[in-house]
Structure 1
């Protein structure tokens, strides 16, 4: 059976190397638009009366959005600025800018975690001196208060130094365990022993903070490997994480799954203090497995795209039942960065999003029927790159780092929270913007200058979503930037806020209890401490043909870098290429990407594509993707995301032209 070259919307299939061919399952992902009636708002799409077995999209549902309470803002960072007049309860004041991130719900569904930065605390020995610097708090979502009278409670303030030996500095992505007694934050775990975190018995004296360490040396020495973007598995036992790599002068990343084991008295490695070790680790990548783009083993002159290859990039989390891992994957359509889910046992893959805009932070609902995503859709930020659909992801062999980096302007995000059913974007259904209701005025829930950040989180019963936003501030606005800076309407002029979206028509749909999963991921490779980091295979230099599933072909020329460690240039010439028999592609595209610095990509892009799309009534539409005659030239750092380009790249769809953002905007 030939491998599929199509990237058109439709089912994803993975012929697992651990299952007989006839047992491979079909997962529904991004179907064509259905002509059947939409489902009721807030209910999972049904499978009946739908085109091609794909359910009709759900109707928009009522959503109520409000801001959650936070400690008051200090008038300054000066010691003692947080006076009784500002906070009569003497429980701290916040810095007005930066140092904030919301997290996940406690299992009772009444509180959510957040990382904050306290400022203006009085000097010791004043008891309020503990409300200083980066701390972890929980915030009530039900309008009630804790015993002290506040809607928040600090978990880390005042924890004795003896209870927090060798705590790591990172405090991001605070995620409560399902036991309600622990929180993963940064590369630490806060543990309140037998007491629920929200209980008054969970005091600083009862609280311990333990660092997390990943063994990466053969003899067990050293401080361990670098972990980032940690996500706790729903079984409370396993941990997913990503780790950057540097090899051959290039920046990379792999995702991992491991087991958390508490060691009260470690004898090797640092710190030699009570800690959690990540053991029995699996890298979620096998260089021997099928890659998204590869040379056909039966025909060395043919290049094939395997849409079911497990191309796990950055790990984003897990399904609530613990069976799937979510991640950013290799594009299915050129320049379109999406999120996927893969079954940890079978390797079956499904595409969660398909809109041509950029998506990254996501969370899957407790019942598994919905995705909440922070997405740039509606901003047109990525449309100059990705608006032309059904283009094979061939140039993406070199462009993914650069195209994903254009999503931001420095610290300014263009994300908004989007609710999508499990069958994904299809036809006219592109999800529902959660905070659409409002007049767009300063401080309103849909104020465009307040942009979504990572990560949105479902309540345990699936009736609410908590997310946070940051206000655009200089230099992402004002000065040379044409976007004027807005004066914050939040209390104390805060430039961040935590929001709750209540899905008012829904009843509780809690997640199932999750037993500990296996340490083994059959499609991954067991990590051996001290072993060499693998390289991702790439297509070798040569000239290839890609055949359209429904006609036409593409001639592809691949040029490697001088050291032959990566692809440097991809040139494609399309001739009547079609995967679906509806859209036909002609023209050329050539992209060269060099790496002048470790995290920087320099892109030289020449595009002259024409796509003809035939409608059901026989009429046709012509779309184009064209660079200026001298090409489009972009230099961008994957860590800072500042857009700097010369030349132009414009994609025109149905007569609407999508142009690149202005430099530094």
Structure 2
């Protein structure tokens, strides 16, 4: 089964489908794959190593490895892709080529043509005068070209070339400005401001979404408006900047929680609840916010969309191998009760060090259904080239860009039984940008941009100085969750005495079914023995003895002594003892072995 990179659907869904009839799945379509050119590779990062022999035009060299490499999306004309990379080996100033140094943002041609200097790439940020690029945050992730083509998002920065297109040869360093983005969070605007992550620019080029970690290991997601501040008088960044204003906390305080205890003391599961977790972007029109949401089935992490006005939630993926690949969720129909403990570990097993279990999938806007789980874009490709986050469509719908990283040590070689592969990219690079041409498609016009309000009706206003509202949490205790069709799940939640976070969840299922197709019986218990002071670390002691009947015959069982899983969400280093095996109609699914 092919796997879906996080947020692969960010531009696949162009408009909402409320009230529309879901059509039959599309047939597979022909796709051509090519690798896009990047600057030449050199093996030394020493000053001056990027010689005229390595690059006769003296427009920069790059190294074989760069862990923060990332490609973004297309310019409006579809002929360029934005890429974040690192130039190395530049000579000292004022020698030719001295500006091509460090982490920079470039545009790469996708049509086989070149810029005026003869290169297939153009550096947007190289050589920008210091006066035009003050107080810049070091983040350089998730590059995105604005729909107007004259601005770009680069980490926590906005790149602006005035009224000139970034892809134009007339957009020169002296015309380019790089402005920091500042999130005022103190009531008087003082201090360092908030720390946004996963920033995404809305299709209207004015609003933004972003996530931010909380002290207890969770994260919240926000939506706000960019406002240029040419002369700020407060905050630690007092240079021309873009402020995030009219901020919304994407939490519905008046709606139900995904799991809650009702007045009768019984559990209720609300899959329709708005639970915006990690932000993954916007629909093509911008009328929906895309995010990783609370599991609807145990450990089955999916991508959701919520409409910015109505608050209507759509589950875009449901197969166990979307959107984080889950060997532990092959058995369907289990409600997300143990997720109170397992969800961090489940999300972290999407990769093991530098081996990611992803490949890009093309799936229509209605999501997986029946036997349709989408079409792998690079079917037959080398599995050692891992798909990475945020593939993107061209605005005319005929091309997809995605980037890949090669498996490297310690996910291979050394003590690992898997040998490290040899790179097939130019110069032995361990990263590359791929262009997929959808051969049977004809160009279309982009859908009009949805007019989003500054304040989203179902969200919570979050002006500077606001404290985060308390999140709903199930009180420790034993509760019954009644299946929507049949049976019960009796769940016991035991909290840690120091942090209040759940330490153990034990569930007994009796003929439980939400859909009448998948019926669950048996017992499952998970305990987290990790130091409660580190919310990112999981040491799970897991026992499972579940039987599934109905449309399939399934079992989910741990071996003698149970199954122990350890993983740090910050490093994704996966270690396991024992076995957790799921069998679906005789087909076995087991956890990956350590280091593989």
TM (normalized to structure 1)? 0.85
Q: Is the 1:290–1:306 Cα contact (8 Å) retained in structure 2?
A: yes
Give the C-alpha shift of residue 26 in structure 1: 9.0
Q: Is the 1:577–1:586 Cα contact (8 Å) retained in structure 2?
A: yes
Q: 1:255 is matched with which residue? A: 221
Check if 1:325 corresponds to 2:289.
yes
Give distance in 2, aligned partners of 1:123 and 1:549: 69
Q: 1:267 is matched with which residue? A: 233
Q: Is the 1:540–1:567 Cα contact (8 Å) retained in structure 2?
A: no
Give distance in 2, aligned partners of 1:282 and 1:183: 23
Give distance in 2, aligned partners of 1:643 and 1:510: 45
Q: Is the 2:522–2:547 Cα contact (8 Å) retained in structure 1?
A: yes
Check if 1:624 corresponds to 2:590.
no
Q: Is the 2:290–2:306 Cα contact (8 Å) retained in structure 1?
A: yes
Give distance in 1, aligned partners of 2:346 and 2:104: 35
Give distance in 2, aligned partners of 1:129 and 1:411: 32
Q: Is the 2:412–2:595 Cα contact (8 Å) retained in structure 1?
A: no
SS of residue matched to 2:97: helix
Q: 2:356 is matched with which residue? A: 413
Q: 1:77 to 1:354 in 2, by over 3 A?
A: same
Give the C-alpha shift of residue 513 in structure 1: 3.0
Give distance in 2, aligned partners of 1:415 and 1:467: 12
Q: Is the 1:137–1:154 Cα contact (8 Å) retained in structure 2?
A: yes
Spell out the pairing of 1:299-318 with structure 2 (5 A cutoff): 299-300=264-265, 302-318=266-282
TM (normalized to structure 2)? 0.94
Q: 1:613 is matched with which residue? A: 550
SS of residue matched to 1:602: strand
Q: Is the 1:112–1:139 Cα contact (8 Å) retained in structure 2?
A: yes
Give the C-alpha shift of residue 355 in structure 1: 1.5
Q: Is the 2:287–2:450 Cα contact (8 Å) retained in structure 1?
A: no
CA RMSD in angstroms, aligned pairs only: 1.6
Spell out the pairing of 1:504-653 with structure 2 (5 A cutoff): 504-514=439-449, 516-563=451-498, 565-596=500-531, 597-614=534-551, 621-653=552-584
Spell out the pairing of 1:388-399 with structure 2 (5 A cutoff): 388-399=331-342
Q: 1:276 is matched with which residue? A: 242
Q: 1:27 to 1:393 in 2, by over 3 A?
A: farther
Check if 1:479 corresponds to 2:414.
yes
Q: 2:6 is matched with which residue? A: none
Q: State which drifts further: 498-507 or 573-582.
A: 573-582
Q: 1:202 is matched with which residue? A: 171
Q: 1:108 is matched with which residue? A: 77
Give distance in 1, aligned partners of 2:273 and 2:390: 26
Q: 1:285 is matched with which residue? A: 251
Give distance in 1, aligned partners of 2:24 and 2:450: 34
Q: Is the 2:354–2:409 Cα contact (8 Å) retained in structure 1?
A: no
Q: State which drifts further: 408-417 or 231-240.
A: 408-417
Structure 2, unmatched stretches of 5+, are: 1-15
Q: State which drifts further: 218-227 or 310-319.
A: 218-227
Give distance in 1, aligned partners of 2:342 and 2:581: 16
Give the C-alpha shift of residue 610 in structure 1: 0.5
Give distance in 1, aligned partners of 2:118 and 2:22: 50
Give distance in 1, aligned partners of 2:571 and 2:30: 37
Q: 1:27 to 1:560 in 2, by over 3 A?
A: farther
Q: 2:142 is matched with which residue? A: 173
Give distance in 2, aligned partners of 1:477 and 1:142: 35
Give distance in 2, aligned partners of 1:26 and 1:96: 44
SS of residue matched to 2:61: coil
Q: 1:80 is matched with which residue? A: 48
Give distance in 2, aligned partners of 1:655 and 1:533: 48
Give the C-alpha shift of residue 288 in structure 1: 4.4
- What are the Cα deviations for residues 28-56 of structure 1, in whole angstroms up to 9, with x where unaligned? 8xxxxxxxxxxxxxxxxxx7xxxxx5422
Give distance in 1, aligned partners of 2:569 and 2:329: 18
SS of residue matched to 1:402: helix
2:107 aligned to 138, 143, 146, which one?
Answer: 138
SS of residue matched to 2:159: strand
- What are the Cα deviations for residues 476-496 of structure 1, in whole angstroms up to 9, with x where unaligned? 111111221011111111000
- What are the Cα deviations for residues 409-457 of structure 1, in whole angstroms up to 9, with x where unaligned? 0122111000111121112111100000x4xxxxxxx001001111101
- What are the Cα deviations for residues 507-554 of structure 1, in whole angstroms up to 9, with x where unaligned? 122322326521111111111322322342111122211112222211
Check if 1:353 corresponds to 2:353.
no
Q: 1:371 is matched with which residue? A: none
Q: 1:363 is matched with which residue? A: none
Give the C-alpha shift of residue 595 in structure 1: 4.4
Give distance in 2, aligned partners of 1:432 and 1:26: 21
2:405 aligned to 470, 481, 489, which one?
Answer: 470
Give distance in 1, aligned partners of 2:487 and 2:318: 24
Q: 1:6 is matched with which residue? A: none
SS of residue matched to 2:557: strand
Q: Is the 1:538–1:566 Cα contact (8 Å) retained in structure 2?
A: no
Give distance in 2, aligned partners of 1:189 and 1:314: 22
Give distance in 2, aligned partners of 1:655 and 1:264: 65
Give distance in 2, aligned partners of 1:347 and 1:497: 38
Higher relative contact order (CA 8 A, sep 6+): 2
Spell out the pairing of 1:213-252 with structure 2 (5 A cutoff): 213-246=182-215, 250-252=216-218
SS of residue matched to 2:217: strand
Give distance in 1, aligned partners of 2:465 and 2:226: 19
Give the C-alpha shift of residue 27 in structure 1: 4.9
Q: 1:189 is matched with which residue? A: 158
2:429 aligned to 494, 513, 537, which one?
Answer: 494
SS of residue matched to 1:398: helix
Q: 1:422 is matched with which residue? A: 365
Check if 1:457 corresponds to 2:384.
no
Give distance in 2, aligned partners of 1:304 and 1:188: 43
SS of residue matched to 1:294: strand
Give the C-alpha shift of residue 594 in structure 1: 4.6
